[in-house]
Chain A
């Protein structure tokens, strides 16, 4: 299975931007990069995904390196409610939608 590497934990201050990195050096041309997050005591929820180009939605932005071997999830203004574990996942086209979760990055937000 395609593998991603993320820092175990990161800290941020409230209302400041947060950049969550992810390395995926073994990514293949058809793998999509997905980000999910899991708030305490809840199921994971979708954040954003992309293939080659940078993506923006109401929750976050996804910046993808030109060689696609790394990506960065950007939360433009962190709030206390953004404290969660963030998972970077490679979704393989020919595996019917399987998500293989790694350990993720635990983000804490300080007021």
Chain B
């Protein structure tokens, strides 16, 4: 398996623009997680899905952020409109449907909002 795939790997955009980050989880995994990492706040869980259904979105910073999982092999995290403070590395991770299973992380998308 290719592991968790994220695209794009790097994104540079201007303030106010819409940004869409994409994630393909490992085939057969039932959980999908979105994290954000900054120097100031470290790694934060934004939202996670189980069987394509959002379970906990308490980490989503505000209404400008939205996430969807239309099927078991694809998820998006959208920021509209983007702001400079959204600049961060965004990671997607997936795991099997067992509480103690390990999470497998993608390589991340490095986002810079000018």
- Interface flags, B1-12, vs A, CB<8A=1, else 0: 000100000000
Interface residue? B71 (CB, 8 A): no
Cβ-defined contact, B42 with A43, below 8 A = no
Q: What are the residues of chain B within 8 A of A101 when measuring CB–CB?
A: 35, 42-45
Contact B108 A100 (CB under 8 A): no
- Among candidates A34, A43, A97, A98, residue contacting B106 with C-beta atoms closer than 8 Å: A43
Nearest A residue (CB) for B3? A43
Taking CB atoms, residues of chain A closer than 8 Å to B91 are 43-44
Instruction: State whether A43 and B95 are in contact (beta carbons under 8 Å apart), knowing that A97-B31, A101-B42, A103-B42 are contacts in the complex.
Output: no
Kindly list chain A residues whose C-beta atoms are within 8 Å of the C-beta of B42.
101-104
In the complex, 10 of the A-B residue pairs with CB atoms within 8 angstroms, ordered by the A residue number, are: A44-B43, A44-B93, A87-B43, A93-B100, A96-B56, A97-B31, A98-B45, A98-B48, A99-B33, A99-B45
B101 at the interface (CB under 8 A from A): yes
Q: What range describes how many residues of B lie at the interface?
A: 20 to 34
The interface residues of chain A, by DSSP majority, are classed as loop
State in angstroms the CA–CA spacing of A46 and B109 once bound together: 19
Collect the chain B residues with CB atoms within 8 Å of residue A44's CB. Answer: 43, 91, 93, 103, 105
* Chain A residues in 8 Å Cβ range of B102: 34, 46, 49
Inside 8 A of B44's CB, which chain A residues have their CB?
A: 101
Cβ contact within 8 Å between A49 and B100: yes
Which 10 interchain pairs have the tightest Cβ spacing?
A43-B105, A46-B102, A101-B43, A43-B91, A44-B105, A43-B108, A97-B31, A32-B100, A97-B99, A93-B99
Known contacts A96-B31, A98-B45, A103-B42; decide if A43 and B99 are in contact (CB<8 Å): no
Given contacts A43-B91, A97-B33, A97-B95, 9 further A-B contacts (CB under 8 A): A44-B43, A46-B103, A49-B100, A96-B48, A96-B50, A98-B56, A100-B45, A101-B43, A101-B44
Residues B31 and A91 in contact, CB atoms below 8 Å apart: no
* Docked pose: A38 CA to B41 CA in angstroms: 16
